[in-house]
Every structure is written in C-alpha cells, then in structure tokens.
C-alpha cells in the first residue's frame, strides 16, 4: 500500500511545480479514523456515504483546498471555510457500487494549505452484485434466448493480405444449455472463427473473429447464428471497406 500511495502522491503533486516546499503529511489535521469499512453493501441500494471527522490540533488555521482520488466511483465534500485551531469538521466520502462487484479499497487524499499538506483516508467494503438486464451488455436480440453485442461488425478499411480481429460477445438468456454455432453465407473463407458449440444456461461467451482480406469476396457478408438447430431470422452482418 505504501508504494501505491507514494505513486498517487507523486502524480498528484507533480501538477504543482511552483510550490515552495515539498508536500508533507499534515501535523495539524487529525482524523478520528483513517479507514472506514462499509462491510457488505448491495449494488442495488446505490451510493453509500461516510463522514470522516477531524480536528485541527495545531496552532494555526488550516484551509482544506481540495480532495483527490483515482476513481470516478468516489465523490466527496469538504468544508470551504478555514478551520480554526481547536475546531472540528467533517469530510464526506461517497462510493458508487454500480457495476463494481467484489472487494474495493479506495484512497482519498485531503489537500490543505495550498496543497502543501495532505492527509490520506480510505473507504473499503465488498459489493454484492445485482442482476442487470441482459440488454445492457448485449443490446441485440437474435431470438431463442440469444443476445449479442453486435448487429453489424465493421472491420473498416482493409487492403489485400491485411488481417483484423474483433470479438463477438453473446449471452444465453434462458435456463437451459444452448447449442450454438454460426454459418457463413456465400462461402467467405476470409472470415475465420471457432463456433462455441455449447453455451451454458445463463452463460456468456466470446468468439474472436479474424478477417484475412483476400479481395475475392463481397464487402458485406451475412453470418447466421443457429440456436438449437434453428437459424436466427436476422443475420450478423460483417462488413469491410477496400483501400
């Protein structure tokens, strides 16, 4: 943790080359706790918050002029007025668990006195994920419970002999295993892939598709998913453009 923290601080303070002195840990602001553990939180419940209390134990005023963290999942609030000697205050830290399952530990740097001083605090916990609608990640419904991330795969401009790779992602939105393979219409042998054969109930998969352009086939090729022996009613369209 020390190595990571040092790196964060180096990046943070490298933006202030005109400082008269190196930033130092604050000896005036004393936090009642430096780490707060939310424990297990449910993703579906949304943002969680904690207030970190502190006191100015020094002999001079302290002005908190900013806070910083390396993740957009963390937001914060801090007092804008200077903190007098002996006075107390709070900084508020929010954590957004959306699409962040599992354990987390996030450092927040509290900057004070024109960025010459800092304090470090942390929030941590474990996010219990919730079920997301399948169309959030797989927007195209091919029927029979098959959803995919592409309706059209654009391989862009290619010259003869060029090869490009893209990932086709798919999901089985049923409670039964799915037999799945793909059929290329028109015999375009420039397109190379290995069909998954079986996709588990509720499962997800990735199929790399390579396009080795020979110039012998049309720019647009239709590829049909076949689910449990039944071809989809709409094709996956694979398209290239020539140089």
- Token couple for 21: 């002195």
Mean pLDDT confidence for 93-100: 96
Rounded Cα gap, residues 83 and 85, in angstroms: 7
Q: Specify the pTM.
A: 0.61
- The enclosing H or E element of 11 equals helix 2-13
- Token couple for 106: 């996030």
pLDDT mean across residues, the chain: 91
- Superfamily covering domain 134-242: Immunoglobulins (2.60.40.10)
Within 10 A of 236 (CB to CB), how many other CB atoms are there? 22
Residue 185 has pLDDT above 70, yes or no: yes
- 134-242 shares the fold of 20-128: yes
**The domain defined by 20-128 carries CATH number 3.40.309.10:** no
**Residues 49-68 pLDDT 10s:** 999 999 999 999 999 999 99
What is the torsional sign of CA 58, 64, 68, 74? positive
Residue 7 has pLDDT above 50, yes or no: no
Domain range annotation of the chain: 20-128, 134-242
Confidence band, pLDDT 50/70/90 cuts, at residue 16:
very low
Output DSSP code: residue 7.
H
Q: What is the pLDDT of residue 142?
A: 97
């Amino acid at each position: 943790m020390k190595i990571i923290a040092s790196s964060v601080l180096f990046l943070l303070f490298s933006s202030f080359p005109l400082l008269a002195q190196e930033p130092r840990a604050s000896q005036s602001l004393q936090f009642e706790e430096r780490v707060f553990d939310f424990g297990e939180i449910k993703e579906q419940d949304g943002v969680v918050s904690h207030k970190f209390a502190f006191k100015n134990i020094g002999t001079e005023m302290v002005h908190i002029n900013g806070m910083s963290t390396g993740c957009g999942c963390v937001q914060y609030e801090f007092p804008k007025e200077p903190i007098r000697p002996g006075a107390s205050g709070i900084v508020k830290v929010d954590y957004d668990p959306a699409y962040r399952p599992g354990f987390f530990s996030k450092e927040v740097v509290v900057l004070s006195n024109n960025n010459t001083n800092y304090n470090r605090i942390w929030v941590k916990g474990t996010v219990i994920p919730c079920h997301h609608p399948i169309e959030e990640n797989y927007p195209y419904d091919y029927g029979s419970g098959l959803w995919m991330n592409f309706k059209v795969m654009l391989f862009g401009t290619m010259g003869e002999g060029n090869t490009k790779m893209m990932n086709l992602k798919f999901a089985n939105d049923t409670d039964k295993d799915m037999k799945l393979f793909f059929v290329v219409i028109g015999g375009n042998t420039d397109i190379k892939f290995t069909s998954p054969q079986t996709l588990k109930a509720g499962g997800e998969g990735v199929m790399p598709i390579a396009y080795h352009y020979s110039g012998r086939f049309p720019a647009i090729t239709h590829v049909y998913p076949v689910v449990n022996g039944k071809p989809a009613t709409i094709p996956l369209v694979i398209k290239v453009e020539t140089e």
